[in-house]
């Protein structure tokens, strides 16, 4: 019996595959490699293709005895989603529909879904709880909310149980140093900061310092990618135990400002990392911090790598050893 991981060659997917393998699970990865990397998949069976290719997906489901699905495959760039919403509806919403239909045909009844803090939009209160209003401010978040809802309707009609995990900011790299973050283009703060000490960037741009926060820069909740991966294994376990479908936030509950992140990276790398304040990035809420109490209570999840030093330190180890990502 195998766990099917869609998008398993991507950043969070590859770290989850590593944890599944370490737990002795049989793993089948499907990935189109649009943003993934073959060498990020440390084991299991790999099928290269697109979820929207029904004939190819049929082969994957008929050749393997799949009992649960972990669904990471998606397009996830906020800016791109605003310029090309059609791409996001097609890949994310239609892609998920293709997957769910295949699960129905093959009687696969469990799915763990990668959702996002972007489903909340501008928060009414912080820390954000799962019962908070969901009002996405970009197409990416809107498609993720639609995917969550679609999965819930498939539960009503077909009995597919789900756990939707709303991640805050995934960060860091696997402790082995073998896998890490390699997004192209890179838009995330930590890898961009680390490009400065790597000599790939002159300075880091700070997107606005006039937010209503203590130092004026945006506050985010950074969570180690391996802690995130652990939550997926616990979600599969929850579904195997026959428990109800659920939605959980995943964050550390700690907020750090952009300036604090840069300062911490200076300490860790020993590099001065020049910073320049530039205008705000459109659509960035001032503060996003998760309440993950529900996940801790119901999944028994305990993040083990919460220190900022561990998060940025593991990313630094990966980027130093792989300055050109998986091409290094």
Among candidate residues 29, 70, 66, the one with its CA nearest the CA of residue 47? 29
Q: Which is nearer to ligand NAD, 21 or 33 (CB)?
A: 33
The overall longest dimension of the chain from CA atoms, in Å, is 57
- Under rule CB under 6 A, residue 289 binds ligand NAD: no
- Under rule CB under 6 A, residue 220 binds ligand UDP: yes
Q: Report the SS3 class of residue 94.
A: helix
Q: Which is nearer to ligand UDP, 17 or 261 (CB)?
A: 261
- Find the binding residues for ligand NAD in span 90-119 (CB under 6 A): 91, 95, 114, 116
Contact 278, 206 (CB under 8 A): yes
DSSP alpha helices (H): ranges in the chain?
Answer: 11-22, 54-63, 78-83, 85-88, 95-105, 139-158, 189-194, 225-240, 258-269, 293-299, 308-321
Which positions from 50 to 89 touch ligand NAD by CB under 6 A, shown as an x/- string? xxx-------------------xxx-x-------------
- Find the binding residues for ligand UDP in span 116-175 (CB under 6 A): 169
Please state, in angstroms and rounded to a whole number, the distance separating the CA atoms of residues 5 and 231.
14
- Find the binding residues for ligand NAD in span 172-191 (CB under 6 A): 183
- Under rule CB under 6 A, residue 22 binds ligand NAD: no
- Under rule CB under 6 A, residue 218 binds ligand UDP: yes
Q: Which of the following is catalytic: 88, 120, 140, 167? A: 140
Chosen residue from 56, 89, 207, 326 binding ligand UDP by CB under 6 A: 207
In degrees, rounded to 5, the angle at the alpha carbon of residue 307 between the alpha carbons of residues 165 and 73 is 30
Known catalytic residue at 140: yes
Query: Which distant-in-sequence residues (6+ apart) come within 8 Å of 90 by Cβ?
Result: 52
Measured distance between the N- and C-terminal CA atoms of the chain, rounded to whole angstroms = 35
- Under rule CB under 6 A, residue 169 binds ligand NAD: yes
Q: How many CB atoms lie within 10 A of CB 137?
A: 17
Q: How far is the CB of 47 from ligand UDP (least distance, A)?
A: 29
- Under rule CB under 6 A, residue 326 binds ligand UDP: no
- Under rule CB under 6 A, residue 31 binds ligand NAD: yes
Among candidate residues 155, 309, 176, 138, the one with its CA nearest the CA of residue 247? 155
Q: How far is the CB of 64 from ligand UDP (least distance, A)?
A: 33
Candidate ranges 119-127, 185-193, 223-231, 320-328; the one touching ligand UDP (CB under 6 A)? 185-193
For 208, half-sphere exposure in the C-beta direction (CA atoms, 13 angstrom radius) is 16
From the list ligand NAD, ligand UDP, none, partner contacted by residue 136 (C-beta under 5 to 8 A by kind): none
Q: Which is nearer to ligand NAD, 116 or 314 (CB)?
A: 116
Question: Which active-site residues does the annotation give?
Answer: 140
């Amino acid at each position: 019996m195998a766990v099917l991981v869609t998008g398993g060659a991507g950043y969070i997917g590859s770290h989850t595959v590593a944890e599944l393998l370490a737990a002795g699970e049989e793993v089948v990865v499907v990935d189109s490699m649009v943003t993934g990397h073959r060498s990020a998949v440390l084991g299991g069976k790999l099928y290269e293709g697109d979820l929207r290719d029904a004939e190819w997906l049929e082969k994957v489901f008929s050749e393997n005895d799949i009992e649960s699905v972990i669904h990471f495959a998606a397009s996830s760039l906020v800016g791109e989603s605003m310029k090309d919403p059609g791409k996001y509806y097609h890949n994310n919403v239609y892609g998920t529909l293709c997957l769910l239909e295949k699960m129905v045909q093959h009687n696969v009844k469990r799915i763990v879904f990668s959702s996002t803090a972007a489903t909340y939009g501008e928060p009414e209160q912080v820390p954000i709880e799962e019962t908070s209003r969901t009002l996405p401010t970009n197409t990416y978040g809107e498609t993720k909310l639609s995917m969550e809802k679609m999965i819930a309707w498939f539960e009503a009609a077909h009995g597919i149980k789900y756990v939707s995990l709303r991640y805050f900011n995934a960060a860091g790299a696997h402790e082995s140093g073998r896998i890490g973050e390699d997004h192209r283009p890179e838009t995330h703060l930590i890898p961009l900061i680390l490009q400065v000490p790597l000599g790939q960037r002159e300075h880091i741009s700070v997107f606005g310092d006039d937010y209503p926060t203590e130092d004026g820069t945006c506050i985010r909740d950074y969570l180690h990618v391996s802690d995130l991966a652990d939550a997926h294994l616990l979600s599969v376990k929850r579904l195997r135990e026959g428990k109800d479908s659920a939605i959980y936030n995943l964050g550390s509950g700690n907020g750090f400002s952009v300036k604090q992140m840069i300062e911490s990276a200076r300490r860790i790398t020993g590099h001065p990392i020049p910073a320049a304040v530039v205008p705000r990035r459109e659509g960035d809420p001032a503060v996003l911090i998760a309440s993950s109490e529900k996940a801790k209570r119901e999944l028994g999840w305990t993040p083990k790598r919460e220190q900022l030093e561990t998060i940025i330190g593991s990313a630094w180890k990966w980027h130093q050893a792989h300055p050109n990502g998986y091409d290094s």
